[in-house]
């Protein structure tokens, strides 16, 4: 008998999560596993895999993502496994050299977080179902969607039909389960009960860009409002008449004020944003509208523990905050600052925040050197390094 399973572990870097995986494998005598949402960097994969099952063989789809989304592993003493297809949302493997299961295929799934992004997964299942009609095929994992709306609490239920249509057209069947509904392990725990009762929503793509460990609360809050397009720009409150100065941007005095214009099509804000990017060493592509700007940032800088990702996220939030502050100062107080002055103000804010960080690793040292921040060692017992401007 061969047992296989999958688990969305929500991060596999910690020793407690690795121990949980080992217990899960031992308790269920698993021979093939799919671990989802590992969040393990490609450079750390071998170390993590050795701690989980040193005699097993593993495959990951980290070649498609900076961080491993799906890790498939199997017991080489029981069977051989060949990876036949891999993508960001799935890893499909084929069992060979086994007395009863040779030819069987298993797909480990970890669906994306939006209906649009999941559609390639539905297309793959439909196409692969035509190829698998002569062989057993097991599809398991986290689809980030449910077959029946009653299987979840909260969230948008309008797009569930896509998953159901895919399953029906592919002619695959859901295997009955046992254990406690709504838990990851089938066992009761306080956390599983809480997760089942509380309202749940789809994951927010830009969360890591806003709420990383270095975030400045007022800056992140202003950026969140800007992303939701909830800043009270003049076009939203409908004050004045276009052509008579009522809608005109106070930063450039030439174009109507909208979110798309302020961030960063306005000549004033564009000049400031470019100068900030030169200082941070990050080249943001030119975009036509504000949504494209923050969506690119959310995709490119989603590592909350990555120092190289925190800097551009802070730069965006701080720039948006200071531009909005400058805009309000001009409208309500009659205070005007040049783009050069505003750029220096933003860079000084970022520099001060970076200097206050207590990280001591090599990556942080590179950042400090780039920003011209000197490090001195504390002289008292247990004191860490201090940063001087």
* Distance separating alpha carbons of residues 187 and 293, to the nearest angstrom: 43
100 against 379, higher pLDDT: 100
| Interhelix angle 339-355/307-328, nearest 10 degrees | 140
Residue 104, domain member (yes or no):
yes
Asked, as a colleague might, if the bond just before 264 is cis with ω within 30 of 0, I would say yes
Nearest alpha-carbon partner for 202 in 116, 124, 126, 123: 116
Is the same domain home to 335 and 246?
yes
Choose the final residue of a domain: 197, 220, 237: 197
**For residue 241, pLDDT beyond 80:** no
Which residues neighbour 87 within 8 Å (Cβ) at sequence distance 6 or greater?
61, 64, 120, 124
Helix, strand, or coil here: 333? helix
- Among 64-73, 255-264, 307-316, which is the least confidently predicted range? 64-73
For position 140, which CATH number holds? 3.60.10.10
* Separation between Cα atoms, residue 111 and residue 36, nearest integer Å: 10
Can you give the pLDDT at residue 204?
79
Residue 244 pLDDT grade (very low, low, confident, very high; cuts 50, 70, 90): very low
Give how many domains the chain has, as a whole number. Answer: 2
The residue length of the chain stands at 389
pTM over 0.85: no
Whether 19 maps to a domain, the answer reads yes
Mean pLDDT of 336-347: 97
Mean pLDDT of all residues belonging to the chain:
86
Query: Mean of the pLDDT values across residues 309-335?
Result: 96
Longest dimension (CA), the chain: 82
* 176-196 tens-digit pLDDT: 766 656 565 556 677 767 766
Helix (H, G, I), strand (E, B) or coil at 72: strand
Domain that holds residue 16: 4-197
pLDDT in tens, 262-305: 999 999 999 999 999 999 999 898 888 999 999 999 989 988 77
Radius of gyration of the CA atoms of the chain, in A: 26
Cα separation, 213 vs 304, whole angstroms: 7
Q: Are 65 and 41 in contact (CB under 8 A)?
A: no
């Amino acid at each position: 008998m061969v047992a296989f399973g999958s688990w969305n572990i929500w991060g596999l870097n910690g020793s407690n999560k690795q121990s949980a995986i080992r217990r899960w494998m031992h308790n269920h005598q698993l021979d093939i596993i799919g671990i989802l949402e590992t969040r393990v960097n490609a450079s750390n994969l071998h170390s993590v895999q050795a701690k989980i099952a040193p005699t097993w063989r593993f495959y990951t789809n980290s070649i498609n993502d900076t961080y491993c989304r799906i890790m498939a592993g199997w017991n080489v003493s029981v069977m051989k496994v060949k990876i036949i297809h891999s993508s960001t949302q799935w890893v499909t493997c084929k069992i060979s050299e086994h007395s009863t299961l040779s030819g069987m295929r298993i797909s480990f799934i970890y669906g994306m977080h939006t209906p649009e992004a999941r559609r390639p997964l539905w297309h793959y299942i439909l196409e692969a179902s035509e190829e698998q009609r002569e062989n057993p095929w097991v599809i398991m994992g986290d689809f980030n969607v449910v077959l029946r709306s009653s299987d979840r609490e909260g969230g948008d239920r309008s797009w569930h039909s896509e998953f159901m249509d895919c399953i029906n057209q592919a002619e695959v069947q859901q295997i009955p389960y046992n254990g406690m509904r709504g838990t990851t392990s089938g066992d009761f725990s306080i956390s599983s009960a809480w997760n089942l009762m509380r309202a749940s929503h789809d994951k927010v793509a830009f969360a890591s860009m806003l709420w990383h460990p270095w975030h400045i609360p007022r800056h992140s809050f202003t950026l969140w409002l800007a992303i939701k397009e909830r800043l009270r720009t003049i076009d939203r409150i409908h004050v004045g008449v276009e052509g008579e100065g009522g809608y005109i941007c106070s930063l450039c005095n030439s174009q109507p004020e909208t979110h798309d214009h302020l961030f960063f099509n306005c000549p004033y804000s564009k000049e400031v944003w470019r100068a900030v990017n030169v200082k941070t060493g990050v080249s943001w592509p030119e975009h036509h509208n504000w949504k494209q700007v923050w969506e690119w940032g959310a995709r490119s800088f989603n590592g909350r523990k990555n120092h190289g990702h925190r800097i551009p996220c802070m730069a965006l939030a701080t720039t948006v905050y200071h531009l909005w502050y400058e805009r309000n100062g001009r409208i309500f107080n009659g205070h005007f600052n040049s783009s050069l002055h505003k750029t220096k103000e933003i860079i000084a804010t970022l520099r001060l925040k970076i200097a206050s960080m207590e990280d001591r690793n090599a990556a942080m040292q590179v950042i400090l050197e780039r920003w011209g921040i000197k490090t001195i060692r504390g002289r008292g017992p247990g004191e860490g390094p201090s940063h001087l401007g």
